[in-house]
Structure 1
Amino acid sequence: MTLQVAGTSTIPASGVTAVVLNVTATDPTTGSHVSVYPDGTTRTSASNLNFTAGQTIPNLVVVPVVNGKVSFYNNAGSVDLIADVAGYYTTDGSGSSYK
């Protein structure tokens, strides 16, 4: 699955180099793991979120943005994913901050 992040809500449409996401897995049908990675790149074998069947669990992920998007991979079964943007980085260093 691919998620457009650049140009959504308060995130600039260009110049975004990475996003900070709180990714939550919920209602998984089996134990699995999710990888979050830059769009259009080869997925690594690293997992960002591990879970068991029926578990709801979050994890904070910092992922580079390519083509304004990030991608998600679920290794097994099905799972609902929630991705909340907590912040972002830009090429000019402005980014976002917690207030």
Structure 2
Amino acid sequence: MDRLLGEELCVLAWAVERMNLDRIPVAVRNRVALRPEERWWLFGMTAMGTGGVLDAGRGWRAALEHALGDVVQSEMLEIRAHRSQRLHEDSQPRLNLFGDDPL
């Protein structure tokens, strides 16, 4: 087994070690979306700063939990696209032809 696989799995393990179970699939999807270089960099920074046994929930490990566990990237993009579309539609003048729907 390649040693880099262990480093990449550490990033995921550190992210989910104190996470609610319902957010773990989000963290897995977000971790998969990272490029290998990004995962290696995250491992190096986390291991150097808070890689100890008693460091759970501190520093880089807390940052990993928030970064990987908060929002699925694709869902966030869909929300932004929907919001942008809605704002665009709201800025267009409307003509109420039926009289029962206030503007």
Q: What range describes the TM-score normalised by the shorter chain of this pair?
A: under 0.3
Q: TM-score, normalised by structure 2?
A: 0.23
Q: TM-score, normalised by structure 1?
A: 0.23
Q: Which has the higher helix share?
A: 2
More strand by share: 1
Greater RCO, 1 or 2 (C-alpha within 8 Å, sep 6+): 1
Structure showing greater Rg: 2
